[in-house]
Every structure is written in structure tokens, then in C-alpha cells.
Amino acid sequence: MEAAALRDYWYDLGNPTIYSPETHELRRTVLESILEYFQLPASTLDQHDLFWTSAKREKLWSPSHWNIDALKAAELDKYGLIDVKWAFSAKPDILLVSPESALVIEAKLESAEGCKVENGYEQYKIQNLISKLWKLLIPEFKGRNIELAILEVKPSQKNSIKWSELVDIIAGSGADDFTRKALETLKRYYEVKPSGIKI
């Protein structure tokens, strides 16, 4: 169910393998909006090779392809552009969308928050940025309220949900059989601790 909305939106703007002026302008507009969000001028794109796929400067890279070392060398890491790279690469586990809202869920069963300090990656920080970029860039999300949640066996923070609570919610909803069965198979993770005591 992983939702890579930023990546998919970028590629939906046009064929990624064929150059067209229309696609180029749409993608440039996206990147200029991101730069403006981080209080950088649009001209930043033309000042650095790292944004372009070749020396001809005909096609712009998706942010997921930005080079971390090049961002640091250009001192653009100070503005948060490494976080943008990770946001375009990240795939939240579950996305639930209603006409007015969207709920982004990161499912944690056996692992903690993903962090790579040396590369500037902090999973929950990136998820916050993802929700902001969705509202900024993707028409489908502009009018929606976006909430973030973490699914855990044992809640660790205020936006955590217990797996057992989610299964109870799904059981009482109009969810389809596939969704209910998929979540019910995870009972082994939340019903019994190693000591044999139910959570």
C-alpha cells in the first residue's frame, strides 16, 4: 500500500524518457515552488548543474535523484533541500483518503524510526515535510486536511495508534474484505508479547 505520491506526481507530469517543452515547464514550476517554500530564488535552478540530467540542461532531475554531496557543496543542505530529496524518495506505508482528509500511516511492527544521520534522513521529520509538499504541489491534496500517524504495538508518542485499535476500527467499518484480511493477518504482532501476556 506504500504511497509515493510525490514521485508519482512528478512522473505524471510527462513521459520521463522523452523530452518535451510542456513537461519541462511543468516540472520547472514544481521545483520553483519548492525553492520558494524554502525561501530560495527560482534562479537557483540555473546556478547549479546538480538539478539537471546533463550538461545540455534540457531535462531536470526529480528531487529523488539530487546528489547529497553536490547539495552540500553548493551549501543548499542548509535550506533543507536534502529533506526534499528524501521526501520524493519516501513511501509512507498506508494512505487513506476521504473527500476532505488524508491520513498517512507509518507502520512499525519490529523496527524503530528510520534514521541515517550522516545522510540527513530522519523518517518522521521527512513525513511532516511530505504532507506539506503534497498540499503545496499536488492538486488532489490542496484542499485536504492531512494527518500523520504511527502504527505501533506499543504507542510511543501522541500520534501513535495501536495495531489492535486499528483492527477494531477496520472491523467496524465498511472496509473491503481484502483490507480487513490483510490487517487481521498481523494479529501475531500485537496479540501476544514474548512473555505470553496480551497487549
* 61 DSSP assignment: P
Q: pLDDT-based confidence at 196, cuts 50/70/90? A: very low
pLDDT of residue 98: 83
pLDDT tens for each residue of 161-194: 777 777 776 776 677 788 777 767 766 655 544 4
Q: Where are the domains of the chain?
A: 5-88, 92-190
**Is residue 19 pLDDT above 70, yes or no?**
yes
What is the rounded CA–CA span in Å between residue 196 and residue 153?
A: 14
Average pLDDT, the chain: 82
Max Cα-Cα span within the chain: 63
- Please state which of the ranges 10-24, 70-84, 109-123 shows the lowest mean pLDDT: 109-123
How would you label 70-104 residue by residue, b for 16+ Cβ within 10 Å and e otherwise?
Answer: ebeebebbebbbbbbbbbbbbebebbeeeeeebbb
pLDDT of residue 119: 63
